[in-house]
Amino acid sequence: MSPETLVPSLGTAPTSFTPDDFDQYVMSTYGRFPLALERGEGCRVWDTNGREYLDFVAGIATCTLGHAHPAMVEAISQQIRTLHHVSNLYYVPSQGQLAQWLVEHSCADRAFFCNSGAEANEGAIKLARKYAHTVLGIEEPVILTAQASFHGRTLATVTATGQPKYQKNFSPLVPGFHYVPYNDIQALEQAIADLDQGARRVAAIMLEALQGEGGVRPGDLAYFQRVRELCDQKGILLILDEVQVGMGRSGRYWGYENLGIEPDIFTSAKGLGGGVPIGALLCKSHCDVFQAGDHASTFGGNPLVCTVALAVCQTLEQNNILANVVARGEQLRAGLRAIAQTYPHLIQEVRGWGLINGLQIADDSDLTSVAIVKAAIDEGVLLVPAGPKVVRFVPPLIVSEAEIDQALNAVRRAIASLL
């Protein structure tokens, strides 16, 4: 009997499955918008009622090539028919090819693959701690991270995250982290001096090149260059979290390229697989201190996800998509600034790189990011908050000029509807 005969209805969702049914079986860990999506193509998605939306969320900066891109469809279709998972007990050729592409298109020398950004950052924390103990001889290593940062939801990465709202009720948190203001070099230098006492020393500084969840706040060039100098002078590792801003979203492959520096360690996920779950920890050879048994991931780097991620990487390169990111990002920011000029009492600032941009609502305004997102849904565009006062725009990197204009017009109508 064929598999089709055994499971004729697999993949067909019951149309009568309501939000109440959903909430009966799924944990309430998300504040979901009242929308159920079932199909996508390019930069557009359709809900279960057949309504079309422009997707400027892209799985939260994840669907690099949009939805149902032919390169991804082909890669997934071929690989699932061949071999999808074997574990890391054996060599996985596509994993090696993906690692080669990432190394050749970055400052890294080695790669480790996992399943998510949180896992990649967890691996970076472990790598930094082992380096601190075995190379630097630090008994109590401290990792500096930034206030308003976001590094993940595991216990270590939520501790690294400099936002107390994510840590509430999860104590005791993992020791060995200290927070400093983002883009404030004096505060960073003072923290290094204060923390270097006896057995305790700063072993690593972990930052986002651009803070995504913290309000789409780009790193300051002079700040990051001074951070790099301090790390070189004191033997501190510089870790950059590129989970959201990497893989071309900034208009360059990696966010750090906008800052004129190179990290010792950086992480990637989200856009790496174009929506297929994969994360990567990348490092330079001098801090590659992991040995067999130190770290692992059962699903990490399996043939299916690596084949798809490699297709995403090659498509980015071969189709010159970074040029589109730069052009469409400039168009989007210009349009958002025009909206800000129309509502100077409501909109405080427009900021971002490439196709990760934020619309900052004035602090003294009653308007919220969630209100704008809900109004934009009514106008046929999906957006995502980045805090209570910032609306984030992260469309697929293949977005067209016409789609940017359509989204901007929808945002204008959405804001007007709230006044």
Report pLDDT digits (tens) over 304-327.
999 999 999 999 999 999 999 999
Catalytic residue among 150, 177, 224, 266: 150
For residues 335 and 229, the answer to whether their CB atoms sit within 8 Å is no
Q: Is the pLDDT of residue 169 over 60?
A: yes
- The per-residue pLDDT for 4 is 39
Q: What is the pLDDT of residues 359-372, one digit of tens each?
A: 999 999 999 999 99
- Give the residue, 317 or 12, on which the prediction is more confident: 317
Q: How confident is the model at residue 158 (pLDDT cuts 50, 70, 90)?
A: very high
- The per-residue pLDDT for 258 is 98
Catalytic residue among 241, 290, 389, 393: 241
Q: Is the pLDDT of residue 124 over 90?
A: yes
Q: What whole-number distance in Å separates Cα of residue 242 and Cα of residue 209?
A: 7
Q: Is the pLDDT of residue 8 over 50?
A: no
Q: How confident is the model at residue 347 (pLDDT cuts 50, 70, 90)?
A: very high
Q: What is the pLDDT of residues 51-104, one digit of tens each?
A: 999 999 999 999 999 999 999 999 999 999 999 999 999 999 999 999 999 999
For residues 401 and 74, the answer to whether their CB atoms sit within 8 Å is no
**Is 130 part of the annotated catalytic residue set?**
no
Q: Is 96 helix (H, G, I), strand (E, B) or coil?
A: helix
**Is 150 part of the annotated catalytic residue set?**
yes
Residue found by looking up tokens 């090659």 in the block: 314
- The per-residue pLDDT for 1 is 33
- The per-residue pLDDT for 20 is 82
- The per-residue pLDDT for 235 is 96
Q: Is the pLDDT of residue 17 over 80?
A: no
Q: Is 155 helix (H, G, I), strand (E, B) or coil?
A: helix
Q: Cis ω on the peptide bond leading into residue 172 (within 30° of 0)? A: yes
Q: How confident is the model at residue 15 (pLDDT cuts 50, 70, 90)?
A: low
Kindly report the pTM of this predicted structure: 0.94
Rounded to an integer, the average pLDDT of 230-247 is: 98
What is the token pair recorded at 16? 């009568």
Q: Is the pLDDT of residue 222 over 50?
A: yes
Q: Is 265 helix (H, G, I), strand (E, B) or coil?
A: strand
Q: Is the dihedral of CA 369, 146, 394, 220 positive or negative?
A: positive
Catalytic residue among 264, 266, 270, 288: 270
Rounded to an integer, the average pLDDT of 255-275 is: 98
Q: Which domains does the chain have, with CATH numbers?
A: 3-62+320-418 (3.90.1150.10), 73-318 (3.40.640.10)
**Is 224 part of the annotated catalytic residue set?**
no
CB atoms within 10 A of CB 125: 29
Spell out the residues 6+ positions from residue 199 whose beta carbon is closer than 8 angstroms to its own. 138, 139, 140
Q: What whole-number distance in Å separates Cα of residue 402 and Cα of residue 405?
A: 5
Q: How confident is the model at residue 12 (pLDDT cuts 50, 70, 90)?
A: low
